[in-house]
Amino acid sequence: MTLSAWSKRASVEEGVLPGISSAEFVELCEPKQRMRLFEQESEVLKRALADFSWGSIPGKGFTRS
């Protein structure tokens, strides 16, 4: 981080310049991270449900010869 960027960040943190403080930035990023995790978990559950339901359909899968 350059000296000018550091100085600007300090001014934002102190409220001298408008902008998002580090604490506010963390608060905004946390819900996005949680949403991404929920979306990944949902995708895993959808795939598991599809695999489970495919195997439980009568007449689908292995046949007796």
Domain boundaries in the chain?
A: 30-54
Residue 10, classed as helix, strand or coil, is helix
pTM of the model: 0.51
Q: What is the pLDDT of residue 60?
A: 58
Q: What is the pLDDT of residue 57?
A: 59
Assigned token pair, 16: 């001298």
Residue-wise pLDDT for 14-50, tens only, equals 989 898 888 898 898 999 999 999 999 999 999 988 8
Residue-wise pLDDT for 39-49, tens only, equals 999 999 999 88
Q: Are 42 and 51 in contact (CB under 8 A)?
A: no
